[in-house]
């Protein structure tokens, strides 16, 4: 639950839909703060007394803030916020009155009622530091006019628009600002907005031009604005990318113009393309490594067919399985550009591979996989895949003894914040009497112990009795980097 929703439910009588509308407003009100050079505070009425709780706060990027401290969650008496109370009672924007002095600083405050479905549900207080005020430029006058329009739309319940959600790119007013009249003619464009269109190949002065005559195929944009719908798009022309966001200005149900925020994202999109090329290259490398490992495994199989020694054939079969385990990790990485592996998928494939290669009528075994280990970094997943494959094969080879009954083996996986646990257990004949991992381990278990303790900085425990064998491995997920040596 968000802070706004938590405070609203604790202090106010706002409904769920009303709180959702305030969430949409807060997602988009940075634009009003920047255009107005003002701090914004969102006030909600307490349900049990005449006071207000501050539900949200935003500071302006292009101006000095009045509030260094966080105001969210503070409860203030209604008598200390006369304009907020007037906006609620009179259901209108309250701007009149002399500036308020706070600690020697003159403050201009506007109280904007927030309307939702014909009801005032909250008030936004826009507070500007007049001590830093000067004669406004044409750019600043355009900003303030646009801020006034959006404030009036908020009071009428038109702003924010339903589509106002968190977006990948959020342009700021300083990136580029323009204003259109009701006919789609550009009546003002900031220097950064003019530069953005120049990057797109528009060499003419755009001020005074109709948006549809800039040779950028604007029919859809203009149609949406005429219908009172916001537009977000990216224009790609002349090797440049510009992100644009247009908001229609609506008063009393009539579209009277629009404002546009532009951002040159050429460098961002170039970096995106470079990352895509890099990701594709990494995936191709993993794909080729996987293919090369499979080729090596195939050559070893061919070599094994020419051998007459049973011991040599077994050694080659084990080598093939180990190489195939590593190839399986690279196969997974080749499908995803992130250097992380879905180890649950790897574990399932490893169990299938070992069961197909070693289980048979003389060694009937049934495997089961429980739990999840999630995604793991490739530097952990690769050695851990070898560990799991060795332990599964060890189960197949040593769980039967002289019996031929079906053995059930379980691979249990568990993931915690800082570690992953693997437990391989079976109901076979168990370990020999007096077995010690440090002393009696075969080659496979020696490999497991070396990988777990030296490569993965983990621990392994092997226990067993007449009811079966259990191997438990604990691996830290966040591994400390080795200290640099001089």
Q: Within 334-365, where are the H helices? A: 343-358
Q: Write down the pLDDT at residue 114.
A: 97
Residue 166 has pLDDT above 60, yes or no: no
CA 164-57-103 angle, to 5 degrees, is 150
**Can you list the alpha helix ranges (DSSP code H) found in 157-214?**
191-199
What is the residue-averaged pLDDT of the chain? Answer: 86
Give the pTM.
Answer: 0.64
Cβ atoms within 10 Å of 477's Cβ, excluding its own: 16
Q: Tell the burial category of 93 from Cβ atoms under 10 Å away from its Cβ (0-12, 13-18, 19+).
A: buried
Q: Confidence class of residue 207 from pLDDT cuts 50, 70 and 90?
A: very high
d(CA 322, CA 300): 12
| Widest Cα–Cα separation across the chain | 102
Which element (helix H / strand E) includes 385? Answer: helix 378-398
pLDDT of residue 375: 87
Whether 12 contacts 91, CB under 8 Å:
no
The pLDDT, as a whole number, for residue 321 is 77
For residues 171 and 169, what is the distance between their CA atoms, to the nearest angstrom? 6
Q: Kindly calculate the radius of gyration of the chain based on its CA atoms and give it in whole angstroms.
A: 34
At 482, the pLDDT band (50, 70, 90 cuts) reads very low
């Amino acid at each position: 639950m968000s802070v706004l929703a938590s405070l609203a439910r604790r202090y106010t009588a706002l409904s769920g839909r009303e709180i959702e509308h305030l969430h949409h407003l807060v997602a988009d009100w940075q634009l009003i703060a920047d255009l107005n050079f003002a701090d914004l505070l969102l006030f909600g009425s307490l349900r049990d007394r005449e006071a207000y709780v501050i539900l949200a706060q935003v500071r302006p990027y292009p101006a000095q803030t009045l509030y260094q401290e966080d105001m969210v969650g503070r409860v203030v008496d209604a008598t200390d916020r006369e304009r907020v109370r007037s906006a609620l009672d009179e259901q209108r924007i309250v701007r009149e009155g002399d500036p308020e002095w706070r600690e020697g600083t003159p403050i201009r405050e506007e109280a904007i009622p927030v309307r939702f479905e014909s009801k005032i549900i909250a008030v936004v207080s826009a507070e500007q530091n007049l001590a830093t005020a000067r004669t406004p430029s044409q750019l600043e006058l355009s900003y303030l006019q646009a801020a006034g329009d959006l404030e009036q739309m908020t009071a009428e319940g038109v702003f924010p628009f339903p589509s106002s959600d968190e977006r990948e790119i959020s342009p700021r007013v300083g990136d580029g600002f323009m204003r259109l009249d009701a006919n789609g003619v550009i009546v003002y464009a900031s220097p950064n907005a003019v530069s953005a269109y120049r990057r797109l190949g528009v060499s003419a002065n755009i001020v005074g031009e109709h948006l549809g005559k800039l040779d950028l195929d604007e029919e859809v944009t203009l149609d949406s604005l005429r219908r009172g719908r916001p537009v977000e798009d990216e224009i790609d022309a002349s090797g440049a990318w510009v992100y644009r966001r247009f908001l229609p200005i609506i008063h009393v149900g009539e579209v009277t113009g629009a404002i546009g925020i532009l951002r040159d994202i050429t460098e961002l999109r170039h970096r995106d393309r470079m990352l895509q090329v890099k990701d594709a290259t990494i995936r191709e490398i993993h794909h080729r490594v996987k293919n090369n490992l499979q080729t090596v495994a195939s050559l070893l199989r061919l070599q094994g067919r020419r051998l007459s020694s049973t011991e040599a054939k077994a050694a080659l079969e084990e080598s093939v399985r180990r190489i195939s385990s590593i190839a399986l990790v690279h196969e997974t990485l080749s499908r995803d550009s992130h250097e992380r592996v879905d180890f649950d998928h790897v574990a399932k494939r490893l169990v299938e591979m070992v069961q197909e290669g070693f289980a048979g009528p003389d060694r009937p075994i049934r495997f089961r996989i429980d739990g999840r280990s999630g995604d793991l970094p490739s530097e952990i997943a690769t050695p851990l895949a070898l560990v799991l494959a060795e332990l599964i094969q060890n189960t197949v080879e040593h769980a039967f003894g002289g019996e031929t009954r079906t053995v059930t083996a379980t691979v249990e996986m568990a993931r915690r914040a800082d570690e992953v646990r693997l437990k391989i257990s079976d109901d076979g004949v168990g370990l020999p009497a007096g077995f010690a991992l440090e002393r009696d381990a075969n080659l496979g278990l020696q490999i497991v112990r070396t990988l777990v303790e030296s490569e993965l900085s983990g621990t392994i425990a092997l226990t067993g009795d007449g009811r079966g064998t259990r191997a438990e491995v604990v691996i830290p997920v966040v591994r400390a980097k080795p200290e640099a040596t001089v």
